[in-house]
Amino acid sequence: MRMLQGLLTRVEGEGEVVLRTENGKMVGVEVRISEAPRFFEYIVRGRRYVDVPDLVSRICGLCGVSYVVTACRAFENCFEIEVPEYEEELRMAVLGAERVKSHVIHVAYLNLPDLIGLGSIGELFESYTHLFQSASKIVLWARKAMEILGGRFHNVVNIRIGGVYSFPSSEKVRALSRDLNEILNDFEGLARFVLGLRSISEEVHKLRYMATACSGSYCWASNKLVLDDGTYFGVESFENYVLTEQVSYSNALRYRLVTGEPYLVGPIARYNNYMKYLREEVRELLEEFGWNRELRGVYQSVVARIAETYNTLLELRDFLSSYRERTVSSPPKVSRVRGPCVAVTEAPRGILYHRYLLDDNLRVRSSNIITPTAQNLACMEYLIEGKLYGSALDSKAVEVAKSLIRCFDPCISCSVHVSRVEIPAGTTRT
Amino acid sequence: MRRAAVAIVKLTSCSGCINEFLYTIASYPELLRSVSIVHATEFQDLNTLEDIDVALVEGSVVTQHQEELVKEVRSRARTLIAIGTCATFGGIQAGRVGEDLRKVILASYPNPDFISALPDVKSLDRVVKVDFNLSGCPVNGDALARLLVKVILGGSEVPIAESVCSECKRVGVLCVMVSRGVPCLGPVTLGGCGAICPRFGRGCYGCYGLNTTVVDGERLARFSEVLEKVGMGRGDLEAFLKYFSFSALTKIRVRE
């Protein structure tokens, strides 16, 4: 047996794809997550619950806000804390700015080179300077937004359990709001370029998928989840719907539905559930390019990222233009916790699940964090195998596998965060 | 002018500092005309570690492989810059050092035999010679841009190590600890963040690492008594120091 390997590039973190061959034909694939484990479960153990959001933010340099928000919501759920409306809006705006940053970095810097036949961000700068500059302007605006609303670009400091630490000044927010009009123009240019690309593959991928569940809106945070077949369930029973597995070649745990099927989380799952709730301007733009339809495969996730970014920018425009500086609520007083502290939020890459158990002193006894990329790993292998099984392999095949993986926008550092799992006997594959 | 060959190398970390570098080139695109990125797996397909002018290394060393990698990078790089708190102090993953490694792994993974990790978490300066330490969780992208330009142009080092307190004074933020009794690690923590936590009305939790040029064991011990009075216990202080200042703790201990 022979193996063809390729280091994963233009993705966050350290991973590798390995194609196994027999008699020159592809017989199997391993998506190896070689990123060294960081054992966050140990790190948060014994800590005060109030310190947890700032600690878990460190799991991811791309979507730290999603971790902060999910941890806060988990404790707000188990302490039955109500977040004041305006503070919640501010938190969701920070989460939105992070989404814009994450999606635009992926679409323009990491994914776009595949669609126009380039190999790096430097080549993009040389050949498509204007496009590169538009993308950079959007990312820089998102950075500014995160700085003003959240304190900084990564590991934001303004979000706490029960709300926010402070409301930024109206003056700063007004400046941000003014700049957004120009950014929307830049974004439209980028969006039109991407949506008009003929190189977005129509390859059909039949996949199960899961997203958070909301009624009547595009869903970013909820205590309910929904599967593609319409099955609804509460976040407290999430772990009953998935199987955990560990494989010898990867430092990330992986997840499947209890039926053993891989499932997809992220832009496609959300888009196919909620596209009808996108704003009219977004739907019109999609329609202009013939994209106002269910997305068929992960190659098309770039379309969902564009749609979600546009929608988020428009929502941010409304939030910023009607913003008023307010007085923050006092930090909640809690004494007793009822049951586990659980929440799920849509990170840019899909559903992010946190569960914490606290002891009598309200310190963390144990935790479980399930990341979107870890949930998508089984899908990646399933699709690569479906595409390449039995075919003759050369280095081109490795590139095909790599570009397929890139469409998931994997966040490898997150996926090895690792937490304690209660894993039923017999599900560990070796 | 020949472009300076820059290598971005990631060890154990979250990529947050590498993304600050991405911000650096997005805000100073002219940098792309004076540097050539020879290694950065996050942004490009073709990567080499041949002849490096400036190596920017994110993350701490937790495996044998990383130890070898960083030594190799060092041997090929004229200048090596440790970026971020993981590279300069060990980072949050140092929180598990001192625990029984097998227990740590077993609590995290159902099958511990598949996982390899060293018992220690090392900052870069414990493995190789580091020319510049730029801490921060994440590193400040503007500071990184300026340092990079300076190094490329051959500028000399300006040794300044301020604490967060200096930044509060400069931007006119009322001391959160004195005025409101909020525990704040600002007095013992390296500045460079712009005092963002106090500016948002909360205490600093030390993510830029201990300012060892002004803090010794004696001062830290006295400071911990002050913190205790405003509600931060010794155990919680030690946990934060372990997460963000680990390698400095071998030199400085909170007095028992």
Q: Which two tokens stand for residue B233?
A: 């216990």
- CA A225/CA A121 separation, integer angstroms: 36
- Asked if the Cβ–Cβ distance from B41 to A48 is below 8 Å, we say no
- DSSP 8-state class, residue B12: B
> Is the model's pLDDT at B249 over the cut of 70?
yes
Predicted local distance difference test score (pLDDT) of residue A117: 86
Q: Which two tokens stand for residue A379?
A: 């899908």
Predicted local distance difference test score (pLDDT) of residue A423: 29
- Domain extent, residue A156, equals 2-6+8-18+32-415
Band of pLDDT at residue B256, cut at 50, 70 and 90: very low
The answer to whether the beta carbons of residues B55 and B9 sit under 8 Å apart is: yes
- Asked if the Cβ–Cβ distance from B20 to A109 is below 8 Å, we say no
Q: How many CB pairs under 8 A join A and B?
A: 184
Whether A8 and chain B come into contact, CB under 8 Å, resolves to yes
**Which residues of chain A register pLDDT less than 50?**
418-430
Contacts of A63 in chain B (CB under 8 A): none
- Asked if the Cβ–Cβ distance from B43 to A120 is below 8 Å, we say yes
Contacts of A119 in chain B (CB under 8 A): 44-46
| Chain B closest-CA separation from residue A234 CA (Å) | 25
Whole-Å CA distances, A50 to A71, B7, B155? 10, 38, 44
Q: What is the DSSP string of B216-256?
A: -HHHHHHHHHHHHHTT--HHHHHHHHHHHHHHHHTT-----
Predicted local distance difference test score (pLDDT) of residue A429: 32
Whether A42 and chain B come into contact, CB under 8 Å, resolves to yes
Asked whether residue A421 is assigned to any structural domain, the reply reads no
- CA B212/CA B86 separation, integer angstroms: 16
Contacts of A54 in chain B (CB under 8 A): 205
Percentage of chain B surpassing pLDDT 90? Answer: 65
- Asked if the Cβ–Cβ distance from B137 to A248 is below 8 Å, we say no
Whether A6 and chain B come into contact, CB under 8 Å, resolves to no
Tell me the pLDDT tens digit for each residue of B54-87. Answer: 999 999 999 888 999 999 999 999 999 999 999 9
Q: Which two tokens stand for residue A229?
A: 């077949």
Asked whether residue A426 is assigned to any structural domain, the reply reads no
Name the closest residue on chain A to residue B196, using Cα atoms: A151
The answer to whether the beta carbons of residues A84 and A163 sit under 8 Å apart is: yes
- Of A30, A42, A129, which to mutate for an interface test with B (greatest number of B Cβ within 10 Å)? A42
Instruction: Specify the DSSP element, H or E, that contains B177.
Output: helix B176-180
Predicted local distance difference test score (pLDDT) of residue A363: 95
The answer to whether the beta carbons of residues A157 and A151 sit under 8 Å apart is: yes
> In chain B, where does the domain assigned CATH 3.40.50.700 lie?
4-153
Name the closest residue on chain A to residue B24, using Cα atoms: A140
- CA A427/CA B64 separation, integer angstroms: 30
Contacts of B107 in chain A (CB under 8 A): 41-42, 420
Residues in chain A: 430
Q: What is the overall mean pLDDT for chain A?
A: 90
For the ranges A51-55, B2-6, B8-12, B159-163, the one whose mean pLDDT is highest: A51-55
SS3 content of chain B, % helix, strand, coil (to 5): 45, 15, 40
Whether A400 and chain B come into contact, CB under 8 Å, resolves to no
Looking at the DSSP bridge assignments, the partners of residue B77 are B52
Predicted local distance difference test score (pLDDT) of residue B44: 76
- Of A50, A152, A429, which to mutate for an interface test with B (greatest number of B Cβ within 10 Å)? A152
Predicted local distance difference test score (pLDDT) of residue A424: 30
Predicted local distance difference test score (pLDDT) of residue B253: 58
Query: Which residue among A37, A55, A110 sits closest to B108, beta carbon to beta carbon?
Result: A37
Asked whether residue A27 is assigned to any structural domain, the reply reads no
ipTM: 0.94
The answer to whether the beta carbons of residues A42 and B95 sit under 8 Å apart is: yes
Query: Which residue among B11, B115, B202 sits closest to A157, beta carbon to beta carbon?
Result: B202
Contacts of B10 in chain A (CB under 8 A): 13-14
Contacts of B201 in chain A (CB under 8 A): 165-166, 328
Whether A158 and chain B come into contact, CB under 8 Å, resolves to yes
Name the closest residue on chain A to residue B195, using Cα atoms: A151
Asked whether residue A257 is assigned to any structural domain, the reply reads yes
- Of B9, B14, B171, B197, which to mutate for an interface test with A (greatest number of A Cβ within 10 Å)? B14
Whether A331 and chain B come into contact, CB under 8 Å, resolves to no
Whether A9 and chain B come into contact, CB under 8 Å, resolves to yes
Percentage of chain B surpassing pLDDT 70? Answer: 98
3-state secondary structure of B36: strand
- CA B234/CA B224 separation, integer angstroms: 7
Exposure of B222 in the CB half-sphere (CA atoms within 13 A): 5
Query: Which residue among B11, B27, B138 sits closest to A154, beta carbon to beta carbon?
Result: B138
Whether A357 and chain B come into contact, CB under 8 Å, resolves to no
- CA B89/CA B99 separation, integer angstroms: 18
The answer to whether the beta carbons of residues A28 and A20 sit under 8 Å apart is: yes
- Asked if the Cβ–Cβ distance from A10 to B43 is below 8 Å, we say yes
For domain B4-153, the CATH superfamily is NADH:ubiquinone oxidoreductase-like, 20kDa subunit (3.40.50.700)
Whether A247 and chain B come into contact, CB under 8 Å, resolves to yes
Contacts of B93 in chain A (CB under 8 A): 38-39, 43
Tell me the pLDDT tens digit for each residue of B87-115. Answer: 999 999 999 998 888 878 876 777 777 77
Asked whether residue A358 is assigned to any structural domain, the reply reads yes
Count how many domains chain A has: 1
Band of pLDDT at residue B31, cut at 50, 70 and 90: confident
Residues in chain B: 256
CATH assignment at residue A258: 1.10.645.10
- Strand A15-22 with A25-33, pairing: antiparallel
Band of pLDDT at residue B1, cut at 50, 70 and 90: low
The string over B226-250, giving b where at least 16 C-beta atoms fall within 10 Å of a residue's C-beta and e elsewhere, is ebeeeebeeebbebbbbbbbbbbbe
Average pLDDT for B15-37: 85
The answer to whether the beta carbons of residues A113 and A121 sit under 8 Å apart is: yes
Query: Which residue among B10, B23, B25 sits closest to A143, beta carbon to beta carbon?
Result: B23
Band of pLDDT at residue B23, cut at 50, 70 and 90: confident
Tell me the pLDDT tens digit for each residue of B116-151. Answer: 778 899 999 999 999 999 999 999 999 998 898 888
Whether A43 and chain B come into contact, CB under 8 Å, resolves to yes
- Of B24, B45, B174, B241, which to mutate for an interface test with A (greatest number of A Cβ within 10 Å)? B45
End-to-end CA distance of chain B: 56
SS (H, E, C) chain A: CEEEEEECCCCECCEEEEEEEECCEEEEEEEEECCCCCCHHHHHCCCEHHHHHHHHHHHCCCCHHHHHHHHHHHHHHHHCCCCCHHHHHHHHHHHHHHHHHHHHHHHHHHHHHHHCCCCEHHHHHHHCHHHHHHHHHHHHHHHHHHHHHHCCCCCCCCEECCEECCCCCHHHHHHHHHHHHHHHHHHHHHHHHHHCCCCCCCCCCCCEEEEECCCCCCCCEECEEEECCCCEEEHHHHHHHEEEECCCCCCCCEEEECCCCCEECCHHHHHHHHHHHCCHHHHHHHHHCCCCCCCCCHHHHHHHHHHHHHHHHHHHHHHHHCCCCCCCCCCCCCCCCCCCEEEEEEECCEEEEEEEEECCCCEEEEEEEECHHHHHHHHHHHHHHHHHCCCECCHHHHHHHHHHHHCCCCEHHHHCCCCCCCCCCCCCCC
